[in-house]
Structure 1
Amino acid sequence: MPTKRSLAAKLGVVAGFDSPRAALEQYHTPPELAAHVVHLADLHGDVDGRTVVDLGTGTGMLALGAALRGPARVIGLELDRAALETARTNERRVAASAPIHWVHADATRSPVAPAEPVTLVMNPPFGAQNSNRHADRRFLETASDLAAVSYSVHNAGSESFVDAFVADHGGGVTHAFAATLDVDAQFAHHTEETRALDVEVFRIEWA
């Protein structure tokens, strides 16, 4: 199996948002964090030969990471058409051999429902914007409907919420770990050139 470091290096060519939208909390997922999530999923046998769905794929970082680890196919759902065009360009840069289907759709109202078991990956909005409150909950609801197993990135301090939500939906958190998400200044309310956000990543098995 290729190393996590080599995966992060390959994802280093993935471009971020040309015109990020604050209301959608569009932040570029760092290659190192994406590689960490995908590598963990691969170690658990949740990528190779599987259908992988990336909710709110943005410019494709997690979807492309999964596509480099031998899935049967990858589906990336994204509401922003411009971001999807960047994702398609990034697909050519990464040159993954697995088929990738980019779908313009609201990730919380997924139009896809594969019959086979699905591994879902996502770095959902944290719900920090007033117009986007509880967005993370809506993404988890979609995951509970679609996925056999999911990997998701959440704001630090979300563990009790995630545990309770998953238990209420008949699932279980099997792994959780802390990580850092480096966010470059891109909106008017950002006062630092780069800010390191503490986040938590969860592996969840759904009933």
Structure 2
Amino acid sequence: MSRAALERRLSRVAGFDDPRVEFEQYPTPAGLAAHLVHLADVQGDLAGRTVLDLGTGTGMLALGAATRSPARVLALDRDPDALGVARENERRIAPESEAATETEVEWLLADATRHPICASDATVLMNPPFGAQRGNEHADRAFLATAAEVGSVSYSVHNAGSREFVEAFAADEGGEVTHAFRAELALDRQFDHQTSEREVIDAEVFRVVWS
């Protein structure tokens, strides 16, 4: 499946029914998810590998990874309602042909920062909370810490201007940022504090190899 075809398919993934502002539950755009999954596939980080989607939300990254022949896909989220939407999304975008096979996603109710996963060489995909809400500052740091613990490589989305922080964190953990690129998150209005019906947020995506 090409990157463009994957984006078209992921565009059918439904968003949150009742997003929770304290969890910073914003949907990952289909185009960004397809780009991230395509990059991970090209780098040889998906096929035959265990893939972890930390803070999966509605399942966008996990469902994209499942199309790239991973050995296993585990998707974690602490919100049971979000996992319910993710499971429905898996059914919604399932291939119509019985001949098409994909890796079934294992949906786990768990806090990604206090995970129950025993792994050290997984590929981690994640769009963690940026830590923009009061009381949730530096939330992405905890997700990176999990990635360093359970992953040999990770792909993560962060607020624009995070490169220095991500590179420093990776270096402290013996890792290295190998790829970085800018991205945009086009978000429809979901919460009362948002002042416009649609907002575009600048973001950055990083590939980190962990030692």
Instruction: Give the alignment's TM-score, normalised by structure 2.
Output: 0.95
Moved over 4 A (4+): none
| Long gaps (5+) in structure 2 | 96-101
Deviation at 1:119, TM superposition (A): 0.3
| 1:6-155 alignment, distance < 5 Å | 6-95=5-94, 97-114=102-119, 117-155=121-159
**Deviation string for 1:61-102 (max 9, x for gaps)?**
000000011111100000000000111001111226202110
Contact residue 119 and residue 151 of structure 2 kept, 8 A: no
Structure 2 residue matching 1:148: 3-state secondary structure: strand
1:186 aligns with 2:190: yes
**One of 176, 197, 203 as aligned partner of 2:201:** 197
d(CA) in 2 for partners of 1:33 and 1:76? Answer: 18
**Deviation string for 1:141-174 (max 9, x for gaps)?**
0000000000000000000000100000000000
d(CA) in 2 for partners of 1:70 and 1:90? Answer: 19
d(CA) in 1 for partners of 2:205 and 2:25? Answer: 18
Structure 2 residue matching 1:19: 3-state secondary structure: coil
Aligned-residue identity in percent: 59
| Long gaps (5+) in structure 1 | none
Structure 1 residue matching 2:196: 3-state secondary structure: coil
Deviation at 1:114, TM superposition (A): 3.0
Structure 1 residue matching 2:131: 3-state secondary structure: coil
Deviation at 1:46, TM superposition (A): 0.4
Structure 2 residue matching 1:113: 3-state secondary structure: coil
Deviation at 1:133, TM superposition (A): 1.1
Structure 2 residue matching 1:131: 3-state secondary structure: coil
Letter in 2 for 1:178: R
Letter in 1 for 2:111: D
**Deviation string for 1:11-52 (max 9, x for gaps)?**
011111000001100001110000010000000000111110
Aligned CA RMSD, in angstroms, stands at: 0.9
d(CA) in 2 for partners of 1:40 and 1:181? Answer: 18
Contact residue 56 and residue 79 of structure 1 kept, 8 A: yes
Letter in 2 for 1:112: I
Counterpart in the other structure of 1:164: 168
Deviation at 1:132, TM superposition (A): 1.0
Report how many residues are paired: 205
Counterpart in the other structure of 2:99: none
Contact residue 72 and residue 99 of structure 1 kept, 8 A: no
